Amino acid sequence: MSVVRVNILPESKSSTPAVTYSEQGVTIFNLAPSAYKAYPIASLVQQLVPLYTIPVYLNKTDNPRGTYCMIRLFIEAHPKNCTLLGNLFPPGLNKTTPPTFKAQPAPYWCFTQVSTRPVGDLPAAWCQHTYNVTGWPNMTQLTLGRMDLYWLCATDILRLRLPRHWSGTCTIVRLTVPVTVFVQTFDLQNSPCYIDAIGIPRGVPNEYKLADQIGAGFEILSALFPITPNKNVDRINYIHYNVQRLANLTRDAVEGISTQLAATSLMAFQNRVALDMLLAEKGGVCAMFGDQCCTFIPNNTAPDGSVTKALNGLRALSTELKEASELDNPLEAWMRGLDARPWKALVMAVLTSLACFLAILITCGCCCIPCARTLCVRLIATALSKENAPRDYEHQMGSLLVEPLKDDDEESYCDMTLTVY
């Protein structure tokens, strides 16, 4: 992105627009009052803060080569062994008017010389180091201008070059845009979410979460009590409901803006026609603004305009979402129809009684009756099994009748019979 700055200069200094300074996307135009009329936007830039002066590091002791090359730049177009500074500050136009500026006190490195053509004196308090170059060779031949380098010989004058046999106290300065840079790290997408290594979205703030990951881990009991699927269905319905609300609200907002914008555009067009009629003798409205006159208003609210198309799309989306999400529940529709009936209370009482009776019947039929039936069957089976069980003496008599008696058994039986008798 480039930034354009416009400076209004006296008529005697400039008669045509000229680009005088460009660095890091900032372009500055100098305009005379006559050219200013053709550029109305300059009226918004008149009150901007001008550029500030900053010193150029010149230390003959610590960096003699750099100081030598910096001075040679104003003498030769391509000085030897000074390629870096020569490419950084290429030769400029000597007739270019310096931009509007404001001199700032700083630790400048100054040069002073006594000769025949005074150019001004920089305040001594502004000079951190002052070099007397009266006897230096070639210091009277600083006649070549350089881009982005200026000579400051007074607090209100910038020079691209110095005249021959100059006299005074000057320093080399650069101009900087009065901008304060605040370094701050932030997410350009305005979202803390990210995708982890296994493809799972992470980083959703707790205040925007719909479900708790820790609580969901304990839902393993859903194998026995299937509540999680129902919870997920409710969450899906909730999200779908809010999407429909968002679509409806957006549709209403765009529809309201479209209606207001259409009326505003029509009013602006009518006002323009009326002004053209009133100013017909002077050539109309555009005769006053020239090339900057606005003669076209995009009619995006027309039947084939972008706003109308977007609004129709929102309406279709809202209808589609409603049709896809509406459930066909005849019982619920019938219940809603009872709201206007006078016998609604009677019907509700009967339905409530039937519901309670069915609940009791189902509970007894599915739980109590099967349990009682099972207990009765077990009781009867136990009683019958005890009654039909054979006694001990019957078992012994049965064994005697079935098995034939042997000789020994017959004697024992006779003895037993006699004894008993």
Task: State the CATH number of the domain containing residue 290.
Answer: 1.10.287.210
pTM: 0.37
Task: Determine the pLDDT at residue 342.
Answer: 61
Instruction: With residue 399 as reference, give the H or E element that holds it.
Output: helix 392-402
Structure tokens at 127: 């000079």
Residue whose C-alpha is closest to residue 72's, from 164, 142, 173: 142
Cα 7 versus chain centre, distance: 36
More confident site: 243 or 328: 243
pLDDT value at 372 more than 60: yes
Q: Which of 49-58, 174-183, 205-214, 223-232 has the lowest mean pLDDT?
A: 174-183
Over residues 157-164, the mean pLDDT reads 86
Same domain, 223 and 152: no
Task: Determine the pLDDT at residue 181.
Answer: 54
Q: Which of 217-226, 238-247, 273-282 has the lowest mean pLDDT?
A: 217-226
How many distinct structural domains can be found in the chain?
A: 3
Same domain, 82 and 63: yes
Task: Determine the pLDDT at residue 267.
Answer: 92
Same domain, 101 and 35: no
Over residues 34-41, the mean pLDDT reads 46
Rounded Cα distance between 244 and 320, Å, is: 10
Structure tokens at 265: 């555009």
pLDDT value at 4 more than 60: no
Same domain, 272 and 215: yes
**Is 113 inside any structural domain?**
yes
The residue to which tokens 């037993």 are assigned: 416
Share of the chain above pLDDT 90, in %: 3
* Distance set, CA 150 to CA 53, 127, 197 (Å): 9, 16, 56
**Is 156 inside any structural domain?**
yes
Average pLDDT over the chain reads: 74
Over residues 302-312, the mean pLDDT reads 87
Rounded Cα distance between 249 and 243, Å, is: 10
Same domain, 72 and 19: no
Three-state DSSP class for residue 302: coil
Task: Give the residue numbers spanning the domain of 96.
Answer: 51-176
Same domain, 138 and 30: no
Considering 30-39, 97-106, 211-220, the range whose residues carry the highest mean pLDDT is 97-106
pLDDT value at 14 more than 50: no
Structure tokens at 257: 């803006």
Q: Is 29 exposed, middle or buried (0-12, 13-18, 19+ CB in 10 A)?
A: buried
Last residue of a domain, one of 14, 29, 48: 48
